[in-house]
Structure 1
């Protein structure tokens, strides 16, 4: 027997079984890993989920094809029982239905719901063909029919979830019933008739009373976990129209604004985080299907009962003629299907949706209405609706950093000067650019992440809150919304700095202030700085590197306002590298990689790796900071009395020495404290401008990639009434015709 024949025999015997078990394993992997992608933004999590998501469908479709092919062929051996193959086929429909935790990997998958609907029909026909081919000697036809119905329910759930999350359907679902308003024709006919009868008439406009805000509470009283979830769900029901780019009334704006102005930064950000989690569930999971009255829990209960009945019937049927391994595979499929349903049920019971349903006394779920009060109280105790510490019962403390957060709580960083100080060799640059790996390697080598600290959170909220308090009318709110640094400069009276904001494009302004922040960060500090100055200095650095990361490595987020940002960045980098080479800074650079590959470092690593790694890392970081400081000092040494555009013209878009001119203007301020206060506030305003002008679908797309601080700021601004999605004209008035005697 040749090698090819041997492999063919092994494949005929074991191929289908292996593919089916792999398909089940992928479902188990997805149900546990998929929720992590809204909390973790690293490739170590997203890449396995992406691979499992694609392979799950491919494996299931491939297995259905193998079963259909096997039913039409005459094969021999213990692994070719057509009855058992027909019984396995419906399980693949279950797998194609996917777990509750992921229906779409990317936002674009929702638009392909029609393709999945067609796939539902084709795969159901293929499974039905395998079932029909097994007659008339099909002893397992009853459990096969049961599993066929269960698989049809699960696959239909996924198709319906994709359909409801598609952009057009989602937008239509949020539209209210058409409102023609008062009968204008009848009103004018009556008005005309009164005039013709020469009766004195008067049209009086009566304003309807606005709804009082019942949600206002004192800011000093923090919200519990349950109150955060309830409040977030309340605002989600109102502001989910943001995803569909709808507008909101002035009453909705005022209610939200009044509430958030009374909250602390911690409560405000927690509410926004939970609200974005509701957005994520609607767009990327089966949450909307499961929350449906008739097409949610009842079909899921029927599917679970059918699977359990199939397990019992298979156990009772004579199984001696089947191979032992095939019986094990069958039990694995049955138990696996039941286990997946139980895990999904557990996740539903401990979800925020269930917490809201069990505790919302004003608008309880339709199913909760039918429960007696004593049972509802027992159920609340069982599910621990307060959920303050329930995660600690199931996860060790080391895993809480991944399980507890509702987004990645990190800010990716990217620094222009650091990038220019560590250039790649030209031939290597061409190779990685040819294969499209430049961005990936740039993130690895030149980028890092910073934690989203409470100082960052409080500073952002206080700045937005201050602006919201000033935005009592729509005109002021839109003016603040459109500001990108000029508002704070005008407010502080620094008119001379406005040219670096108002007279340049957004991308140019961002890169100029980014370089200027670095130049000040590494050259303009002293040991006598107070805590506020040190804090503003560090915050400015984090904001600066974060926004440059978005501009260069996450360009879709800033594409509406980025302009020629990448061209300007490349030209600036080219000039910086040329300048550093001319001043011989690159040759003096001792980066961490170069230091770590030295013989001395390797020798100590062999003796005591862990201790050496720590020492080398921090020494390398110290050397990098030293080189950055030296580079910034050399840049500031250049005489910039003549504007760079006068010398270079418009051939190069570089802004390296424009930033140097900005720094020299900043240093004319009264104190170092004032410099960093201005820089930090300008960065918050630049970030707010970027958040408000980022496309809505881009915000939604990043919900499945660990989330972005920019998205949290965008939603928080909407809640504080800073945006252009509110209608200006009031609509709560009506006309009344009065006839005088």
Structure 2
């Protein structure tokens, strides 16, 4: 009896529940969808994703239910004819909210599918309306329905139009590209001229103060891995280098926030010619969605009679007023609801993760992250200072410019006079392995020297260290193409093996001290052992402040090395899931004139001449050492800056063979 009653109730209220549910989901998306720009809990992000998928499903299901109800004989005249008026409102819901058109960047490529959906659902809605509308109904109610169909249809097509505009295919087609026809030597001259002018801009800063607004632009080409010409890069650099830290932070925040809006919402940039059509369509759709429902509400108020059920009347007004409020919120209310781009740096610590695992006896805790830290502004200052120091102290020509953009700690070791400590060999390891070694070594130095928690330099070192390991753990493709996430598990297992006969349920500090004590008294090999050897070399400097300055410099170089080798597409993709601080660093480096991924791929590669190849063959299979490089007169500096990343760059270039790289053979 209870089941049959429930089925009967569902048959009676099914459509009403669906339309009210659709309205509720739209309100949830209007209020909270922009918060995905920030680092939010996984359950909250999942609820936004579920609501985004469910919003279309609910609206389509409600229209299908309405379509089935039209089969009911009009002769019954059960007072539910008002339900047909809900069809255009459901079309408006199907158009979605301005704050979220795509959840993932791949959704933008599905705009053709959304056009088909829009056409089919509009057809269904019009069919249901024409078949079900009683001829005896009030003409004012008919006029209200027709007025609602106009913004309903417009919003249905607004969503695929926004997706089409934000798709990478359309974005690539909209950017004017000039085919390179200059010879490699001419491009070298262009680069040399750029380096000299950029260096002068940093050293002299004799150009006029630039309006900070001019630094606010949408770096579409960077996100598409297209290289800007040198004149534009120089102009952008001159604008940016005169900004103070606060203005620079606002400029970078503006760029990232607006790229997010451009890719994942209905926002457009009307300053761009190819955005004017979508912008005009959005404006007209908004005007229609605000004005016509108001007129329709007035007509409905005047035309309703007692022939309609009380529940249908109330639901109709809830739908009309609620949808009108949604349009107001979309247009005015919550554009800046999520605030500025979040200044958070994600954290993941290997030893800390191991300690939590052993205390809780849960293997799953290995995947748990530390709380993010809010030190991005301080780290940004270090990165910006590193770039400026490079222009002032290292970069003198195009060759040194390329070398500087390939360093990942070697320059710091030379500046601090640490080349005789045998530290560079760890930097010659594959980048992902080097990250883990320096990460564990940083923790060993911190706990072995019992550094104070208030030591600012040490704290920054650990924050950058934890962030780089976070990238390897959760976003290894952004760290560097080909990075091996499994190395973290190997290092984790090594810790477990080292402590196999010892107490493991300790806090992070005591656990690190225990591991250090064991490593001191035993012999072995592996990542953790290499990290301890590195830590011993660093602590042998004697001066604690100098030790942390060296570690900080190495980590800043590694951070810049990683940012300069990450595809723009991956930066754009990460914005949809809260973003990565690496994107912030990447954009900062681009604005300070450093090489980005696209520029590395487009630059001329240099092959060995026959004389150099013969000399290399005579060295046997030992590889290209520093002495060999100097003997062959290859471009290098003390510490062998360029060679450590050469193989990484070649692999990266090979993976993306759609870019054309000219080969220039040294005579």
**Same fold at TM > 0.5:** yes
The residue correspondences of 1:115-264 to structure 2 (distance < 5 A) are 115-137=113-135, 138-139=137-138, 140-176=141-177, 230-233=213-216, 235-236=217-218, 239-264=219-244
1:453 Cα deviation from its structure 2 partner:
5.3
2:537 maps to 1:665: yes
Secondary structure class of the residue paired with 1:448: strand
Deviation digits for residues 405-430 of structure 1 (CA, Å, limit 9, x no counterpart)? x223222221112223344699964x
In structure 2, the partner of 1:518 is 443
1:459 aligned residue (371, 375, 382): 382
The residue correspondences of 1:411-426 to structure 2 (distance < 5 A) are 411-423=345-357
Secondary structure class of the residue paired with 1:117: helix
Secondary structure class of the residue paired with 2:373: strand
Q: Which runs of 5+ in 2 are unaligned?
A: 183-192, 605-667
Tell me if the contact between 1:231 and 1:271 (Cα under 8 Å) persists in the aligned partners: no
The residue correspondences of 1:249-398 to structure 2 (distance < 5 A) are 249-288=229-268, 292-293=276-277, 294-347=280-333
Tell me if the contact between 1:525 and 1:672 (Cα under 8 Å) persists in the aligned partners: no
Secondary structure class of the residue paired with 1:637: helix
Question: Cα gap change, 1:153/1:179 in structure 2, threshold over 3 Å: closer, same or farther?
Answer: same
Higher RCO structure, 1 or 2 (CA under 8 Å, sep 6+): 1
2:516 maps to 1:586: no
CA–CA separation in structure 2 for the residues paired with 1:155 and 1:8: 33
1:100 Cα deviation from its structure 2 partner:
0.8
Secondary structure class of the residue paired with 1:256: helix
Deviation digits for residues 189-246 of structure 1 (CA, Å, limit 9, x no counterpart)? xxxxxxxxxxxxxxxxxx9xx999xx99x99xxx99xx65x3443x32xx22111221
Tell me if the contact between 1:407 and 1:706 (Cα under 8 Å) persists in the aligned partners: no
2:387 maps to 1:407: no
CA–CA separation in structure 1 for the residues paired with 2:482 and 2:518: 28
Deviation digits for residues 85-119 of structure 1 (CA, Å, limit 9, x no counterpart)? 22101111111111111101111111111111111
| Residues paired across the two proteins, number | 575
CA–CA separation in structure 2 for the residues paired with 1:7 and 1:166: 46
CA–CA separation in structure 1 for the residues paired with 2:549 and 2:91: 60
CA–CA separation in structure 1 for the residues paired with 2:112 and 2:251: 35
Question: Cα gap change, 1:631/1:408 in structure 2, threshold over 3 Å: closer, same or farther?
Answer: farther
1:575 aligned residue (494, 511, 523): 494
In structure 1, the partner of 2:517 is 634
CA–CA separation in structure 1 for the residues paired with 2:352 and 2:289: 57
Secondary structure class of the residue paired with 1:295: helix
In structure 1, the partner of 2:86 is 88
1:258 Cα deviation from its structure 2 partner:
2.2
CA–CA separation in structure 2 for the residues paired with 1:720 and 1:472: 15
1:346 Cα deviation from its structure 2 partner:
1.4
1:306 Cα deviation from its structure 2 partner:
2.0
2:9 maps to 1:29: no
CA–CA separation in structure 2 for the residues paired with 1:251 and 1:79: 73
Question: Cα gap change, 1:315/1:292 in structure 2, threshold over 3 Å: closer, same or farther?
Answer: farther
Secondary structure class of the residue paired with 2:481: helix
Secondary structure class of the residue paired with 1:586: coil
In structure 2, the partner of 1:6 is 5
CA–CA separation in structure 2 for the residues paired with 1:413 and 1:129: 55
CA–CA separation in structure 1 for the residues paired with 2:48 and 2:154: 24
In structure 2, the partner of 1:50 is 49
1:551 Cα deviation from its structure 2 partner:
0.4
Tell me if the contact between 2:504 and 2:511 (Cα under 8 Å) persists in the aligned partners: no
CA–CA separation in structure 2 for the residues paired with 1:77 and 1:474: 85
Secondary structure class of the residue paired with 2:517: helix
2:465 maps to 1:544: yes
Question: Cα gap change, 1:526/1:566 in structure 2, threshold over 3 Å: closer, same or farther?
Answer: closer
1:143 Cα deviation from its structure 2 partner:
1.8
CA–CA separation in structure 1 for the residues paired with 2:117 and 2:580: 34
Question: Cα gap change, 1:426/1:585 in structure 2, threshold over 3 Å: closer, same or farther?
Answer: closer
Secondary structure class of the residue paired with 1:408: coil
2:577 maps to 1:694: no
CA–CA separation in structure 2 for the residues paired with 1:258 and 1:472: 18
2:588 aligned residue (692, 709, 716): 716
Deviation digits for residues 255-300 of structure 1 (CA, Å, limit 9, x no counterpart)? 1222322222332122101111110110001012886353231232
Tell me if the contact between 1:33 and 1:49 (Cα under 8 Å) persists in the aligned partners: yes
Question: Cα gap change, 1:136/1:17 in structure 2, threshold over 3 Å: closer, same or farther?
Answer: closer
Secondary structure class of the residue paired with 1:551: helix
Secondary structure class of the residue paired with 1:689: helix
Question: Cα gap change, 1:94/1:500 in structure 2, threshold over 3 Å: closer, same or farther?
Answer: farther
CA–CA separation in structure 2 for the residues paired with 1:554 and 1:79: 58
In structure 1, the partner of 2:106 is 108
Q: Which runs of 5+ in 1 are unaligned?
A: 183-206, 352-401, 430-437, 590-623, 645-653, 730-741
Question: Cα gap change, 1:282/1:135 in structure 2, threshold over 3 Å: closer, same or farther?
Answer: same
CA–CA separation in structure 1 for the residues paired with 2:471 and 2:301: 57
CA–CA separation in structure 1 for the residues paired with 2:566 and 2:78: 57
CA–CA separation in structure 2 for the residues paired with 1:690 and 1:11: 57
Q: Which stretch shifts more, 312-321 or 472-481?
A: 472-481
1:630 Cα deviation from its structure 2 partner:
2.5
Secondary structure class of the residue paired with 2:434: helix
1:634 Cα deviation from its structure 2 partner:
1.9
Secondary structure class of the residue paired with 2:414: helix
1:571 Cα deviation from its structure 2 partner:
1.8
Tell me if the contact between 1:484 and 1:686 (Cα under 8 Å) persists in the aligned partners: yes
CA–CA separation in structure 1 for the residues paired with 2:561 and 2:77: 68
Q: Which stretch shifts more, 2-11 or 416-425?
A: 416-425
In structure 2, the partner of 1:505 is 430
CA–CA separation in structure 2 for the residues paired with 1:78 and 1:490: 89
Tell me if the contact between 2:480 and 2:565 (Cα under 8 Å) persists in the aligned partners: no
2:549 aligned residue (677, 684, 705): 677
Secondary structure class of the residue paired with 2:268: helix
CA–CA separation in structure 1 for the residues paired with 2:165 and 2:426: 43
1:662 Cα deviation from its structure 2 partner:
0.8
Tell me if the contact between 1:500 and 1:509 (Cα under 8 Å) persists in the aligned partners: no
CA–CA separation in structure 2 for the residues paired with 1:473 and 1:299: 54
Question: Cα gap change, 1:44/1:409 in structure 2, threshold over 3 Å: closer, same or farther?
Answer: farther
Secondary structure class of the residue paired with 1:263: coil
Question: Cα gap change, 1:486/1:289 in structure 2, threshold over 3 Å: closer, same or farther?
Answer: closer
CA–CA separation in structure 1 for the residues paired with 2:45 and 2:360: 31
Secondary structure class of the residue paired with 2:159: helix
Tell me if the contact between 1:39 and 1:408 (Cα under 8 Å) persists in the aligned partners: yes
1:477 Cα deviation from its structure 2 partner:
3.2
